[in-house]
Chain A
Amino acid sequence: MPELEVTFTVTVMKSVTLQEVNLNSTLCNYYFFSVNSKFINMIMQDGNKVLSTEIVTQTLEAIKRKQVEKYHKAPAAEREAIECNPYTIFHQALENCKPVIGLANIQKGSRTYQVPIPLTEKRRRFLAMKWIITECRDNKHRRTHMYEKLSQELLSAFANEGNVIKRKHELHKMAEANRAYAHFRWW
C-alpha cells in the first residue's frame, strides 16, 4: 500500500455546535476498508454507489453523534465505558450479529431436513450484513432515513439487543433443536 497523507479533523464537542466529520477519513481507514466496502456494496441499489457510500458515512456520523452525546451526559465514572469510535462500534455490532452455526436443507429420501452446518467466515459476515440491512429496510418506520435506521440497529446490536440479534438467536435455537440431524451431513 502506498504511503498516504491522511489528515483528520478532530471533532471536538466543546460548544453546542459540532464541526463536520472529515469524510476523507472514512475511506482511508484501511482496517475497516474491506468490511466497510462490502457493506456499502450490499446496501447499493441499481448501482448507485454514491448514494450508498453517503448512507454509510451518514450512519457512522450519526453513531458518533449519539455516542458523544451519551458521553457528555454520563457521569465521569461511566465515561470510560462509552465507546465513541464508530468503526469499532460497526465492527463489534457486526461480530455480535454473526451466527455461529447455520442450517442447510438436505434431502434424505423424500423429506428435506434442516441440518446444522458450520459456516465459513465469509458466509457469516454476509449473513450478518444481510440481516442488518433487511431489518432496516422492512421493519422500521417508513419516514425515517436509512442512515437513522442503520445507526439505531447498529447501536442496539453493539449492545447485544435488537431484532437482528434476536434473529441470530433464533437460528441458533433452530440449529440446536435439529442437532439430531447433524449426521446427515457428508462433508
Chain B
Amino acid sequence: MAVTGAGIEALLSRLLSRERGKPILRPNKPLVLKDEVANKKTEKGEASCITEMSILMACWKKKDFNSSLCSKEISDFYSCVGRAERRKARQQAAVGQGKKMLPKQANVLLKRYPNLGKEI
C-alpha cells in the first residue's frame, strides 16, 4: 500500500469510511506522526578479546595472581582491548555516514525539526 503525497488522503478516507461495510481502520489515537522513531533492537555482537582474557587468567592461576610476573599477558590484553575499542569507534562513525541512520540519530534530527501541530 505504498502511496505517496496526495494519494494518502484518498486512501485514508477509503479505509475509514463506513460506506463499504465495516471500516478497515479504527484509530484510537489521531493519525498523526510522532517526532521520534521506534528503537530497533541492535544486533548483538560478540565479546571481544576473550582469548587474550583467558590466556591472562591462565597465567594468573599459574603465578598465583602476581601481576608483575604476567606483564606480557597483561600488555597483550590491553593492546587487544585498545584495538577493539578503536574498531568499535570506526564502526560507529561508519554507520553514521552510511545509508541508514541509527534510530537515535534520527530522533535527534526529528526533535530539532518537529512536526508543526499549530499554525505559527
> Which residue of chain A is the closest to B44 with respect to CB atoms?
A186
B88 contacts A183, CB within 8 Å?
no
> Which residue of chain B is the closest to A177 with respect to CB atoms?
B57
Does A187 have its Cβ within 8 Å of any Cβ on chain B? yes
* Known A101-B77, A182-B53; further 16 A-B contacts with Cβ < 8 A: A101-B53, A101-B56, A118-B48, A118-B77, A118-B81, A169-B65, A172-B60, A172-B67, A179-B53, A179-B57, A182-B50, A183-B50, A185-B47, A186-B47, A187-B45, A187-B88
List B residues at the A interface (Cβ < 8 Å): 44-50, 53-54, 56-57, 60-61, 65, 67-68, 74, 77, 81, 84-85, 88
**A–B Cβ pairs within 8 angstroms, 22 of them:** A100-B56, A100-B67, A100-B74, A100-B77, A101-B53, A118-B81, A160-B68, A169-B65, A172-B67, A173-B65, A176-B57, A176-B60, A176-B61, A179-B53, A179-B54, A182-B47, A182-B50, A182-B54, A183-B50, A186-B46, A187-B45, A187-B48
Question: How many A residues touch the partner, as a band?
Answer: 10 to 19
Chain A residues lying within 8 Å of B85, measured Cβ to Cβ, are 120
Does A175 have its Cβ within 8 Å of any Cβ on chain B? yes
List A residues at the B interface (Cβ < 8 Å): 100-101, 116, 118, 120, 160, 169, 172-173, 175-176, 179, 182-187
- What's the nearest-Cβ distance from chain B to residue A175, in Å? 7
Chain A residues lying within 8 Å of B45, measured Cβ to Cβ, are 186-187
